[in-house]
Structure 1
Amino acid sequence: MGKISKKTLNKVLLRTQTTQFSHNYERMQSLSLTYDFAPVIEELYKDKPKEQQVRAMQRYLEYFNTHPLAIPAILGICAAIEETTDEDHKDSVTNIKTGLMGPLAGLGDSMLNLTWYPIAGSIGASLCVESGSILGPIVMFLLINLLYWPLKYFGLHKGYEKGMDLIQNEQNGGLKIFDRLGNFANVLGVVVVSGLITSTVKLNTGIEFAAGEGTIALQDQLNNVMPCLLPVLLTALCYFLLKKGQGKNSVWVILGLLVACIVLSCFGILV
């Protein structure tokens, strides 16, 4: 697999687990990125002058910030470019690294922070709410890492194997594979969250109408027409309010729901 051994790449993979430990406000993840990539530089430059190794290290000390999930893929591509280019063309490493960190940061946020983390957290929380089981946080941890680790491993090793082809060669798919993963995550998120709404959001009305000598319960009629209509409407309202406030009003939304539910329950509107 070229000059860089699989053992060295696996060292890089393990080191990426510490990426978030050395943030700084000047260059963000640059220190941890340099630490992650050090095994590759040591292997590639072991028989070269020390000055070249120093310059190689300095390339990774420049400003860098992306999603931790994207770092292995970017380092895999950088490893391939470091291996195949001469010293006069090493600027391409910095250009590729800088060009990829933005798009892949957005992809990582959409796939994990905004999709998979809420799914895993909701499933774990539902286990705790329904039975008080300790399995809730364990399941959440496993769900996150069962997706996290394969994507990091695949990103690092495939990034190194494909090198520049992963970016330039549209015949091999280019970065479209990440677009497909993002679309898959969005679809999965919608399906799972939809199922969780019906199972965890409980909202029933106690409104009744007189009909001759008996009464008609509004909740029964709603269940006949569209079960779980009220939980869906409540979820849509919360989503609208949170989106309108860009998430900054989440505390007020929660407090408002608590107050509204207590007041409506006192009047028998909610049961």
Structure 2
Amino acid sequence: MITNILIFLIAMLAGMESVLDAWGFNQPIIAASLIGIVTGHPVEGLMLGGSLQLVTLGWMNVGAAMAPDAALAAVAAGILVTGPTQLPVMQGIALAIPLAVAGQMLTIFVRTLMVSFTHMADAYAAKGQARKIEILHFTGLFIQGLRVAIPAMLILALPAETITQAINAIPSVITNGLQVAGGFIVIVGYAMVVNMMASKTLWPYLFLGFGLSAITSLNLTAMGIIGAAIALIIVQLTKFNTTEVEEQASMVPEDQIDQPLLTKSDQLHTFFRQGFLLGSFNYERMQNMGVAYIMMPTLRRLYKDQPDEFAAGLKRHLEFFNTHPYLAAPIIGVTMAMEEQKAKGAPIDNATISSVKVGMMGPVAGVGDPLYWGTLRPVIGALAASFAAQGSMIGPILFFVAWNIIRLATLWFGQKFGYQQGTNIGMNLSGGLMQKVTQGASIMGMFMMGVLVPRWTTMNFPLVISKIKNDPRNVISMDSVNNVLQSNHLTGDDIVKLSQQLTSGKVFGNFQVTTLNDVFNQLIPGLMPLLSLFIVIWLLRKNVSPITIIFGIFAIGILGYAVGIFGV
């Protein structure tokens, strides 16, 4: 009984973390290891978690796009491997993939359900009922936990044969089609970020990033350095028009700027809340309830005796918001400072606060997604998984400690930096600092989005376009090659002879097959992901909701796999 309760709690924690993307309890290396510990089979749990961590290195949630759910996969596979059924680790890994796809469907359902919550929050905000918004926010997070905990309990209650039969009963065209769609559903997230930043001056950086990524093998770290260098050069060469903002800055009384209203306690409370930004993520206004929840300590301090202003502040922060959850910290810091200056009487209206938030969230998302999801987490995860796969506890401990040092430092210092710059908003506006930061982040963000499109989007087109029979005189016999290899008598002369045959035009195989993949790659490597990006941007600008696009991609994946256009 105690074991089952602990498994339930771990599953709840993993489910909530799968939407929060904070402490890392949703990562297989931690979730599966914890399951193994409470079931009394830590080594098997570690080995499973390490192996699954390597499988899921490229899985990341970007914008509204959800990756397959590593949390449900790790918890469910962990129970099957370390629980009463004692499945082999390799079989657990094989079952984890369809379980991850099932989890992906469940979290999309919950995020769709959260749309109704955000409308309820609007009604509460109009009355200044912040506590009820907090309850809504955490109810959404609790439901995400149940999304993993309930399947975990069902797996504990059912025989392994029943579970395996149920999974195998799903037609392969469905499971493989969903796996195909999972390879390029991330395009929706990229499109949302690009659409927020898009301007005539920034499109060239998207194409530059795409071109370098498609034709070179440079890793994301190198690409990030190139993007940062380009952004710095352009910012230094750009002259900013600061006449208008200088006039706005002069309207802020100097004696008010130097008198902070927010205390250190307010800043700490805000920092602690930042880890819950994504708790009630929904497909209409994304992170809006999370932002309102984070801003409540600030609003309570500034407008504690002004209920109308407090209610207006809640409504102001329930507007659309979506960015990287860690690099939201400097935006939150700037917003805190602007609210403070507004409370002091500075000429800052609702539109100004909203425009600053909207102007910053796209660029920082463009930087944060490739930096944290695409570089830091895979690097730390791969290193930690190498220990865990050998049954060492060093793996999950290393991942947990390293990841959270980076995450917490980003949140605290990001918020602190944003607040400091926002407090000096008049000076920073008049000096063009905010414009410089926004332009630099936009350039680097657009460049990195271009880099990610061909790198992290998987689209396989195995459809055969042509199949030409090769001249038998030009075909190298595989039987003769295999005979030499099996006899262990391969010599240097054999290698030279084979090389000469290949350079003279001879080929392996009786047929020369050209697939749709070959055609696209001959034109431009990564062409289809790029075209898909622009199709999704076009749909977003036609006011098609992200969730509709996501379900459309699932349908395309299934149908495309069924007719043979797409392959796993």
TM-score, normalised relative to structure 2: 0.31
Alpha-carbon distance in 2 for matches of 1:51, 1:210: 87
User: What letter is aligned with 1:210?
Assistant: T
Alpha-carbon distance in 2 for matches of 1:68, 1:115: 16
Alpha-carbon distance in 1 for matches of 2:316, 2:336: 12
> How far 1:110 moved relative to its partner?
1.4
Q: 2:437 aligns with which of 165, 175, 187?
A: 175
Q: 2:298 aligns with which of 26, 35, 40?
A: 40
Matches of residues 14-163 of structure 1 in structure 2 within 5 Å? 14-47=272-305, 49-85=306-342, 86=345, 89-129=349-389, 131-163=390-422
Alpha-carbon distance in 2 for matches of 1:22, 1:166: 33
Aligned to 2:491, the other structure's residue is in SS state: strand
Alpha-carbon distance in 1 for matches of 2:355, 2:318: 14
RMSD value, Cα = 3.5
2:163 matched to which residue of 1?
Answer: none
TM-score, normalised relative to structure 1: 0.63
Distance 1:127 1:154, change over 3 A: same
**Contact 2:380-2:402 within 8 A present in 1 as well:** yes
> For each residue in 1:25-63, what CA deviation from the matched residue of structure 2 results, as whole angstroms up to 9, or x when unmatched?
12111111101100000101123x311111111100111
Alpha-carbon distance in 1 for matches of 2:388, 2:337: 46
User: What letter is aligned with 1:10?
Assistant: L
Alpha-carbon distance in 2 for matches of 1:125, 1:244: 33
**Contact 2:274-2:411 within 8 A present in 1 as well:** no
> How far 1:144 moved relative to its partner?
1.2
Distance 1:100 1:2, change over 3 A: same
1:7 matched to which residue of 2?
Answer: 265
> For each residue in 1:243-263, what CA deviation from the matched residue of structure 2 results, as whole angstroms up to 9, or x when unmatched?
6785x99xxxxxxxxxxxxxx
> How far 1:95 moved relative to its partner?
0.7
Distance 1:24 1:173, change over 3 A: closer
2:470 matched to which residue of 1?
Answer: none
Alpha-carbon distance in 2 for matches of 1:245, 1:107: 23
> How far 1:211 moved relative to its partner?
5.2
> How far 1:22 moved relative to its partner?
0.6
In the alignment of these two chains, the number of paired residues is: 199
Alpha-carbon distance in 1 for matches of 2:433, 2:288: 33
2:158 matched to which residue of 1?
Answer: none
Distance 1:166 1:147, change over 3 A: farther
Which range moved further: 155-164 or 31-40? Answer: 155-164
Higher relative contact order, structure no. (Cα contacts within 8 Å, ≥ 6 residues apart): 2
1:235 matched to which residue of 2?
Answer: none
User: What letter is aligned with 1:22?
Assistant: S
> How far 1:166 moved relative to its partner?
6.0
Query: Identity over aligned residues, as a percent?
Result: 28
> For each residue in 1:180-212, what CA deviation from the matched residue of structure 2 results, as whole angstroms up to 9, or x when unmatched?
xx89xx9xxxxxxxxxxxxxxxxxxx8864259
Stretches of structure 2 that go unaligned for 5 or more consecutive residues are 1-258, 449-484, 496-520, 530-552, 558-568
Alpha-carbon distance in 2 for matches of 1:112, 1:158: 19
**Contact 1:121-1:140 within 8 A present in 2 as well:** yes
**Contact 2:327-2:365 within 8 A present in 1 as well:** yes
